[in-house]
């Protein structure tokens, strides 16, 4: 018996076939584009997700050599919060506005004026912000009224692929808690927020737990993907919630840091713990809760450098970049990079913030610039760790998952900036690893999602701070905070000019 996990990330689709015990059997990855038509806008084509799913699922089935009838179930995780409107045939009514998109500042401000910032926070668990689905939906309603009038449902990326696989509309609780239209303490849609926004609750699909099947693979989807007709498809979850499961973050006192396109610090609790400067969402483990420090473009900043300024764009480019840093920039740079290429989420929540290098000199070389990008993401992580501490979240251990966990130099920088050990999860797959636990709970291999998460957790090693770097990074972190505070008004002025 096998199971299939599919993660719809910001830069690629990853399909992973699992043997029992959440053991990797085969995987395939396919990239797609994000479009940035204006500053702070970020959108993707939903059918790029589906095309990538088709290619990668067919590839893992072919490489594994198994009969598709051996796949017991499918589960999908994805980037969030992303807003995709579809008509009553399930056809997208334009591009999806992804989590990185921050075009809806004005709509968010008007809703705050109507309901009050504190009231929205008390209901949704989060401060009103363009990051969440509601602001994006309000922008769409105001700026695309002819398309809004045709909107039948508002979907997340995994909802869309679930629809393509099964013909059924679905939404998991974690995604619901990131719409900002959901009463997270009462576990239902908020009539108060929806009325103030003049949005119908019927635009959102029914909410079912992530490990519950919402339908089965249809004949048309089977013909496209190679999956067997009738294969169960689970509701799925948010990529960050799945990554938390993979890292065993189902109890209190432990956090996981996940860096892909963005970085997210996820901390588990038994009851809702909220902060105006952090993000709250449900856990993929029913009855648990997560507090997040969500950063916008940490990994994306390094990808920007690779795509724009690095000579090699091959799959090996990141390893080559690491080797160059280790050889030519093997100590702190004495530079400050603000990793705000798409504005920033936690803890500053500033759509106007921009990527900034401070400290460039005529002796600065390429390796130092690349290292400073890694340092900037580590400073952003520390900023969120300190914010979580102020909110009362005690962290005993920090674990790491995601593609950046393969970068030794980046891990050493993070450990030194935080001045604490970082545990590297063995065979880290990020979100797909967590999906394996949802699937294992569904198939009965494990009694619960929590049991699967803890039973399968393997720590490969711990990365210790480099003592010689700790003090210097402490000083530079102070400058990191100071530079942003000094530039905040300039960023706003620049945004007005743009």
Write the pLDDT tens digit of every residue in 460-472: 999 999 999 999 9
Residue 203 has pLDDT above 90, yes or no: yes
Predicted local distance difference test score (pLDDT) of residue 401: 84
pTM for this one? 0.87
Residue 226 has pLDDT above 80, yes or no: yes
Q: What integer best gives the mean pLDDT of the chain?
A: 95
Query: What is the pLDDT averaged over residues 335-364?
Result: 96
Residue 428 has pLDDT above 80, yes or no: no
Predicted local distance difference test score (pLDDT) of residue 430: 80
Give CA angle at 69 (63, 75), nearest 5°: 80
3-state SS, residue 258: strand
Residue 65 has pLDDT above 80, yes or no: yes
Predicted local distance difference test score (pLDDT) of residue 137: 98
Residue of higher predicted confidence among 228 and 243: 228
Predicted local distance difference test score (pLDDT) of residue 429: 83
Write the pLDDT tens digit of every residue in 127-164: 999 999 999 999 999 999 999 999 999 999 999 999 99
Domains and CATH numbers, the chain: 2-235 (3.30.420.40), 247-498 (3.30.420.40)
Q: What DSSP letter does each residue of 101-116 carry, written as one string?
A: --TTHHHHHHHHHHH-
Give the whole-angstrom CA distance, residue 310 versus residue 302: 10
Predicted local distance difference test score (pLDDT) of residue 142: 98
Give the whole-angstrom CA distance, residue 134 versus residue 112: 12
Write the pLDDT tens digit of every residue in 299-329: 999 999 999 999 888 879 999 999 999 999 9
Give the whole-angstrom CA distance, residue 261 versus residue 125: 25
Sign of the C-alpha dihedral computed for residues 118, 122, 127 and 133 taken in this order = negative
Q: Which of 108, 94, 96 is nearest to 147 (CA)?
A: 94
| % of the chain at pLDDT higher than 70 | 100
| 266 touches 249 (CB < 8 A) | yes
Q: Which of 13, 35, 30, 49 is nearest to 160 (CA)?
A: 49
Integer CA distances (angstroms), 369 to 4, 156, 313, 380, in order = 39, 36, 17, 17
Write the pLDDT tens digit of every residue in 93-119: 999 999 999 999 999 999 999 999 999
- In angstroms, the first-to-last Cα distance of the chain is 55
Residue 427 has pLDDT above 80, yes or no: no
Predicted local distance difference test score (pLDDT) of residue 252: 83
Query: What is the pLDDT averaged over residues 261-276?
Result: 89
Predicted local distance difference test score (pLDDT) of residue 417: 98
Residue 383 has pLDDT above 90, yes or no: yes
Predicted local distance difference test score (pLDDT) of residue 394: 81
Measure the CA dihedral 308/311/314/320, to 10°.
Answer: -110
Query: What is the pLDDT averaged over residues 212-222?
Result: 98
Query: What is the pLDDT averaged over residues 455-481?
Result: 96
Written in H, E and C, the secondary structure of 174-229 is: HHHCCCCCEECCCCEECHHHHHHHCCCHHHCCCECCCCCEEEECCHHHHHHHCCCC
Write the pLDDT tens digit of every residue in 6-60: 999 999 999 999 999 899 999 999 999 999 999 889 999 999 999 999 999 999 9
Q: What DSSP letter does each residue of 21-47 carry, written as one string?
A: TTEEEEEEEEE---B-SSTT--EE-HH
């Amino acid at each position: 018996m096998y199971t299939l996990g599919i993660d719809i990330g910001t830069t690629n689709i990853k399909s992973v076939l699992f043997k029992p015990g959440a053991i990797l059997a085969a995987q395939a990855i396919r990239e797609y584009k994000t479009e940035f038509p204006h500053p702070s806008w970020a959108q993707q084509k939903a059918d790029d997700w589906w095309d990538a799913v088709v290619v990668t699922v067919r590839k893992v089935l072919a490489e594994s050599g198994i009969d598709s009838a051996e796949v017991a179930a499918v589960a999908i995780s994805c980037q969030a919060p992303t807003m995709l409107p579809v008509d009553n045939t399930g056809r997208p009514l334009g591009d999806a506005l992804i989590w990185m998109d921050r075009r809806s500042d004005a709509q968010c401000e008007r809703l705050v004026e109507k309901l009050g910032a504190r009231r929205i926070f008390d209901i949704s668990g989060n401060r009103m912000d363009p990051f969440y689905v509601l602001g994006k939906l309000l922008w769409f309603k105001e700026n695309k009224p002819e398309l809004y009038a045709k909107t039948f449902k508002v979907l997340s990326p995994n909802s869309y692929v679930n629809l393509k696989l099964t013909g059924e509309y679905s939404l998991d609780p974690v995604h619901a808690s990131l719409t900002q239209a959901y009463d997270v303490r009462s576990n239902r849609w908020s009539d108060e927020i929806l009325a103030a926004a003049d949005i119908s609750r019927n635009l959102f699909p029914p909410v079912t737990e992530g490990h519950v099947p919402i339908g089965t693979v249809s004949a048309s989807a089977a013909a496209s993907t190679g999956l067997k007709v009738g294969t169960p498809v689970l509701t799925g979850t948010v990529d960050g919630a799945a990554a938390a499961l993979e890292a065993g973050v189902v109890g209190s006192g432990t956090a996981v840091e996940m860096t892909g396109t963005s970085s997210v610090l996820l901390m588990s609790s038994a009851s809702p713990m909220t902060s105006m400067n952090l993000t709250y969402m449900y856990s993929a483990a029913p009855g648990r809760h997560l507090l997040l420090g969500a950063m916008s473009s940490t990994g994306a900043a390094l990808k920007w450098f690779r795509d724009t300024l690095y000579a090699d764009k091959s799959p090996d480019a990141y390893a080559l970049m690491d080797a160059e840093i280790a050889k030519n920039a093997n100590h702190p740079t004495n530079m400050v990079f603000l990793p705000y290429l798409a504005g920033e989420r936690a803890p500053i929540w500033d759509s106007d913030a921009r990527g900034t290098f401070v400290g460039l000199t005529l002796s600065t070389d390429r390796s130092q610039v690349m290292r400073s990008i890694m340092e900037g993401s580590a400073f952003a992580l520390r900023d969120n760790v300190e914010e979580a501490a102020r909110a009362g979240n005690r962290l005993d251990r920090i674990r790491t998952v995601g593609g950046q966990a393969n970068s030794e130099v980046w891990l050493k920088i993070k450990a030194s900036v935080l001045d604490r050990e970082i545990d590297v999860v063995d065979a880290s797959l990020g979100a797909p690893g967590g999906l394996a636990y949802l699937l294992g709970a569904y198939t009965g291999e494990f009694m619960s999602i929590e049991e699967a998460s803890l039973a399968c957790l393997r720590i490969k090693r711990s990365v210790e701070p480099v003592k010689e770097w700790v003090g210097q990074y402490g000083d530079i972190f102070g400058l990191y905070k100071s530079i942003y505070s000094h530039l905040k008004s300039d960023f706003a002025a620049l945004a007005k000019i743009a």
